[in-house]
Amino acid sequence: MEQYSARLAKVWDWMTEESISLVMLEDTESRRDQNIRWLTGHPGDALLFLSQNRKAVLTAWDINLAKQYAGNAPVVLTAYNDFERQACKAISAVAKMLEIPLGSKIEIPSVTPYPLFLDYVGKLTDYDIICRDKGAGAQLRKFRAVKDELETAITRKAAGITNELIELLEKNVRNEKIKTEADAALLIEVEARKRGCEGTSFETLAAGPGRSFAIHAFPNWTYSGFGGDGLSILDFGVKLDGYSTDVTLTFARNLNSKQEKLVSLTEKAAKLAISMAHNGTPAKNIASAVDALFSKSKKQMPHGLGHGIGLQEHEYPLITSRSNNEWVLETGMIFTIEPGLYDPLIGGCRLENDILITETGPEILTASRIVHL
């Protein structure tokens, strides 16, 4: 219960500063939100109501599942069926339950469609319904960017499993047990679940030499050959107790001089970026340094250098050179570093690892690499 209480306290303190009486978070089929899992442990399909008087109500579609996963969180459990599965009725009932003063502010998710927002306003006339981009959702994303001790421990364990799979993948490509993209993708799915994972953190991207030119090959994997002459890319991650890893390996075989250059530049970029990843470093500076390295060789990376990971495979901080990127690295942040270069004629190369910022510097959690066959 301690971790959930500490996380909820952050939100309640913020609500007091913002003079928000009630916040509703929504994790439904049309609007997913991992903040509910972060605050309660419940994996999904629910509404969560947080009041300024430091009370929480979890309204779950599957009340039995909620009892199992949110039983250790300091929340009152209710069934969505009690409110005819209508958010407006749930808000009204919970506001009365928590004694929310009439006329006070109730914040709904920023992703609420405008017509639905108007419906809330029209039906909840006793309250001031607000919906804003830089509200509770944005603040929760900031909170989640710095992992607590439990989150770090789970991620380290997930990274350990990821590293076991990396070793297994390299072994099976070398001994030709993996011959196709499908072989690689299916091995990851099965072996991750054998090790207690919920599954992969996203659909595996396996691209053999004929498809590795794309940042994210489409379709994600086929029955085409993998690990043959040229460059093959394998981008995958596992999800353990909700937490994701995200790595990319490149398998290189019988390369020509242009392909060798892509590999060399990518490895140099990864080494440079990790060496700069310290507490207090602006994330934009790291990405800009990699951009400059590639530019010297008249190359350009068509995607960001990295992103945070956690309950989602893409979180904050952003490691990009965009002018509006204001993220500064802090101890406790976990993110990817994934330089990559792609050419429609010779294929692509990407090297991605998961990095934890510690008080003494970057800790490389995963063992992804360029595999020279």
Distances (CA, A) of 339 to 55, 250, 287: 44, 12, 9
Q: Residues 11, 136: contact at Cβ < 8 Å?
A: yes
41: left (phi over 0), alpha (psi -120 to 50) or beta: left
Q: Residues 43, 65: contact at Cβ < 8 Å?
A: yes
Please, how many CA atoms are within 13 Å of residue 129, restricted to the half-sphere of its CB?
21
Write down the pLDDT at residue 1. Answer: 77
Q: Residues 42, 70: contact at Cβ < 8 Å?
A: yes
Q: How far apart are CA 360 and CA 278, in angstroms?
A: 8
CATH class of 146-372: alpha beta
Tell me the pTM: 0.95
Q: Residues 273, 320: contact at Cβ < 8 Å?
A: no
Write down the pLDDT at residue 370. Answer: 98
**What is the pLDDT tens value at each position of the chain, 373 positions in all?**
799 999 999 999 999 999 999 999 999 998 999 999 999 999 999 999 999 999 999 999 999 999 999 989 999 999 999 999 999 999 999 999 999 999 999 999 999 999 999 999 999 999 999 999 999 999 999 999 999 999 999 999 999 999 999 999 999 999 999 999 999 999 999 999 999 999 999 999 999 999 999 999 999 999 999 999 999 999 999 999 999 999 999 999 999 999 999 999 999 999 999 999 999 999 999 999 999 999 999 999 999 999 999 999 999 999 999 999 999 999 999 999 999 999 999 999 999 999 999 999 999 999 999 999 9
Residue 257 has which token pair? 């001089």
Domain limits, the chain: 2-142, 146-372
Query: What fold, for 2-142?
Result: Creatine Amidinohydrolase; Chain A, domain 1 (3.40.350)
Write down the pLDDT at residue 30. Answer: 87
Q: Which residues pair with 220 in a beta bridge?
A: none
Residue 354 has which token pair? 């998961």
Distances (CA, A) of 156 to 147, 162, 202, 346: 12, 10, 18, 35
Q: Residues 340, 351: contact at Cβ < 8 Å?
A: yes
Q: How far apart are CA 91 and CA 47, in angstroms?
A: 9
CA quadruple 130, 134, 140, 142: dihedral, nearest 10: -170
Q: How far apart are CA 167 and CA 8, in angstroms?
A: 39
Q: Residues 75, 65: contact at Cβ < 8 Å?
A: no
